Every structure is written in C-alpha cells, then in structure tokens.
Amino acid sequence: MNLAILHALAAAALFGASTPLAKSLVGDLPPLLLAGLLYLGSGLGLTIARLIRDRRWLPSGFTRAEWPWFLGAVFFGGILGPVALMVGLTSTSGATASLLLNLEAVLTAVLAWVVFRENADRRIVLGMAAIVAGGVVLSWSGHADAGAGWTGPLAVAAACLCWAIDNNLTRKVSASDALLIAAVKGLVAGGFNTALAFMLGASLPATNSVLLAMVVGLAGYGISLVSFVMALRGLGTARTGAYFSTAPFIGAAVAIAFFAETPSPNFWIAAGLMALGVWLHLTETHGHEHSHEPLDHTHDHDHDDHHQHAHDFPWDDTKPHVHPHQHAPHKHSHAHFPDIHHRHPH
C-alpha cells in the first residue's frame, strides 16, 4: 500500500479516536475552551518535538511564494473555521451538525477539482460519494431540528468551507516541514480559541482536565495533522480528504469498543459504504505520458526517477535527505497520484 495512503488513514484514525475522548471532557470544559486546549496541546507538543528533533529552532524553509498560501491556511483553518463552528453549534443540534460536517470532504474535493484543477476520474468521484454517504448515514438521527432556523446550519457549513479552503491551501506548502505546519496551526488556533473563551467568561478548569485535553489534542489534532500533511504531499487534496472522511466511522468504532456504546444498524451500513469507498480509492490506477516542468523546492526525498541530481555536499546515497533541489524538464509515463511532483493538467 502507498505510504501516503497509510498517512491519510492514520490521520483519520487519530482524529476519529480523539472525538469520543474529547466528548468525555465536554462536561468538565466549555466547548470553546476545550477546542482551544486541544489545539494548544497540538501546537505546544509539536513545537517541542521539532526542537528535540532539530536540537535548535530552524527557519521555516518557506519560499516567498509559499508564505501567502500558509498564512491563508492558518487564517481559514485556525481562526475562522473554529469560530464559525462554535457560532453554529449554539443554535444547531448535534445530529444536524454531524450531518453538515460531512460537507468538509465534499467542499475540499470540489475546490481541489474545480479551482485547483486536481485530477479526478470516475472511480475517485464514486469512492468519495460512498465515503460521504457513509458519514451521512452514520450521523443521521432520524429527525431534524424543528424551527431552529438557518443561522446555525449556515455557520456550520461556513466552518466546513473554511476547512476545505485550509486543506487546499495547505497542499500548496505540503512539501515543507509537516511538523512546523501542524505546530503553527495548533499554536494559532489554540491561542485564539483559548483567549476568546476566557474573554467570554470561561474560568480555568482543574489541572488534570487541562492536561488530558492537551494530550488528546496532541494525538488527535497534532500528530493527526502531521500525517494529513504527509498524505497531501503524496496523494493530493481530494484523495486525502476522502480517506480522512473515514474518521467519523473510526470514532464510532472507538466509542463502541471502549465506551460501551451499542452499535446501531446505521453503523454497519456506514461501515459498508466507507469500506466500498476506500476500496475504490485503493484500487485506483492512473497513468499516462506526462511532462514535468522545471521545479525548485525542498522536501525529504530519495534518488528515485524524479530526483536525479548531484550534491555539493557529502552524501552516501543510503537514506532520505532534505535540501533545496531543482527538477529538470522531464517526460515519461508511469502510474501516479496528484502528488507534489504530478500537478499537471489533463
């Protein structure tokens, strides 16, 4: 199995498993403060991990052209998205909100295909449809809000659009350090939401609740996002979003296994639909003759068919390494995903 697919499924598994754990903390923490602490745990934990890994604070490595994409992703995903969701949840039931949150995958794919011209064939579209349908079935409660109005649902939909924009903008910088990308997003979102919670009257909760929320955030929001960025690098946005859409099923499975919840018939229907969608994606093949335009970027790589270049420093050709490098124009044919080296028109 492609390593990027494993990254996407790992991101979904970590985020999905964190949902029932976070839900268990809702009684101890106000929702906005909980969101802030989850993101802060992610940002602080990953920042420490990066400092340990590099033994010092290294520059971001972003080029001048990449900064607008990254700052846009942080703004939409770390600030606007969480605020829109919290506004929406104040006047939307949990069932309706769960249904609407499935829009994120759909909007992510639509933006990738229509705006950013990412390739998608019939198999990928059908797989996406099956996975999203599974999410709808899983979160369907059998009733809708009565007289709740449109403000709440529109705000939740706006949050999904913000995260869809975030996903597509993050794809533009996915070749950069995934730890840095996830750490900065966590610090910005966590700091903003925590400060907003205190401004709205939240009080500091018990220390053990704070620590537990931050640990859950590090796994479910931090490490998950690092895996998500790695998947974006190798799969493109739409496919990564589709695999990540299995997170609600994983969350439900964790709740059943560890929190003694009883599976409903919807759970098994959703499992079948999501399994079908993942199978359609796993069995996808896409190959044709294509041209690589000249490209300068930085990411960890081996010397495969796309990385045939000399070095001006000692290297023993035995493991992946990172340095700025240039791709010369190249034409060939092979099976590929819309990864960081295959973002070409069709």
Query: Would 51 be classed as within a structural domain?
Result: yes
Rounded CA separation 181/299 (Å): 13
Asked, for residue 203, whether it belongs to a domain, the answer is yes
Considering the domain boundaries, does residue 72 fall inside one? Answer: yes
Residue 245 in any domain: the answer is: yes
Contacts of 28 (CB under 8 A, 6+ apart): 205, 206, 209
pTM, to two decimals: 0.76
pLDDT score at 205: 84
Three-class secondary structure of residue 116 per DSSP: coil
297 lies in a domain?
no
Please tell me the predicted confidence (pLDDT) of residue 133.
85
Residue 222 pLDDT: 94
Q: Look at residue 2 in the predicted model and tell me its pLDDT.
A: 80
| Ranges in the chain, pLDDT < 50 | 143-144, 146-147, 288, 290, 334, 336
pLDDT score at 146? 47
In whole angstroms, what separates CA 142 from the centre of its chain?
Answer: 29
Whether 17 is in a domain gets the answer yes
Domain with 245, as residue range(s), is 3-286
* CA–CA separation, 218 and 186 (whole Å): 9
With respect to residue 299, please indicate whether it lies within any of the assigned structural domains.
Answer: no
Residue 298 lies in a domain: no
pLDDT at 96: 62
Residue 249 has a pLDDT of: 77
Residue 307 CA to residue 325 CA, distance in Å, equals 9
Q: How many domains does the chain have?
A: 1
User: Which residue's structure tokens are 């041209």?
Assistant: 291
Cβ atoms within 10 Å, residue 211: 12
